[in-house]
């Protein structure tokens, strides 16, 4: 393990976010993609509680990251799986996602993380491989599960952050 300044752009992550924890999963649109940096910087929530996974949650987190008022960012733990070239988390999915969206808008942000390299495949790929093997041996029963998209239910989904556009 080492602490590094991490750039999430150009990398593929295994996220375990759901409709209850991610606005994009719920609506199909990331609220950070809809707002310019100045609106994120000046975001104000009127209310007592921001629901995790709401558009406001991401905008508020973006504002905190931009204003560098997010304490203990190094609690983010990123695992790089060498065999599939994917990244996974123990902690820090939202912070990494929001930081990547801000970086895509040409904002320079330092993202210190506890970084681990692991020889092997990420949980998503391992689970997909496991179900593919079960499909090959058991036939129709597993094929139905596979067709319904349940093969990686506990392992989330893969998402790649594009490199930012150079101005």
Residue 142 confidence class, pLDDT cut points 50, 70, 90 = very low
Q: What is the pTM of this model?
A: 0.82
Q: For residues 124 and 142, which has the higher predicted lDDT (pLDDT)?
A: 124
CA distances to 41, 142, 144, 152, 153 from 148, rounded to whole Å, are: 40, 10, 6, 11, 10
Residue 132 confidence class, pLDDT cut points 50, 70, 90 = low
**pLDDT of amino acid 143:** 42
- DSSP, res 74: G
Q: What is the mean pLDDT of the chain?
A: 84
At 13, which helix (H) or strand (E)? Answer: strand 12-15
The alpha carbon of 98 is separated from its chain's Cα centroid by a whole number of angstroms, namely 8
Rounded distance, CA 8 to CA 14, Å? 12
Sheet with 77-81, side-by-side order of all strands:
2-5, 112-118, 77-81, 86-91, 12-15, 157-160
Read off the pLDDT of residues 38-96 as tens digits, 9 standing for 90 and up: 999 999 998 889 998 999 999 999 999 998 876 545 579 999 999 999 999 988 999 99
Rounded distance, CA 27 to CA 55, Å? 10
At 4, which helix (H) or strand (E)? Answer: strand 2-5
Residue 148 confidence class, pLDDT cut points 50, 70, 90 = very low
Task: Give yes or no for residue 151 having a pLDDT over 50.
Answer: no
User: Average of pLDDT values for 112-138?
Assistant: 80
Rounded distance, CA 73 to CA 96, Å? 10
| Cα–Cα nearest to 100, from 28, 1, 15, 38 | 15
């Amino acid at each position: 393990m080492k602490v590094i300044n991490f750039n999430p752009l150009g990398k593929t992550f295994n996220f375990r976010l759901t409709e209850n924890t991610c606005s994009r999963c719920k609506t199909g649109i990331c609220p950070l993609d809809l707002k310019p940096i100045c609106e994120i910087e000046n975001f104000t929530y009127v209310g007592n509680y921001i629901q995790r996974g709401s558009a406001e949650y991401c905008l508020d987190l973006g504002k905190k990251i931009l204003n560098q008022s997010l304490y203990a960012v190094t609690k983010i733990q990123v695992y790089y799986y060498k065999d599939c070239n994917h990244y996974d988390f123990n902690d820090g999915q939202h912070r990494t996602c929001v930081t990547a969206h801000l970086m895509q808008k040409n904002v320079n942000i330092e993202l210190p993380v506890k970084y681990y390299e692991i020889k092997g495949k990420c949980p998503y790929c391992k689970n997909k491989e496991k179900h593919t093997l079960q499909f090959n041996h058991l036939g129709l029963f597993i094929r139905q599960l596979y067709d319904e998209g349940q093969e990686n239910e506990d392992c989330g989904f893969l998402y790649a952050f594009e490199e930012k556009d150079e101005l």
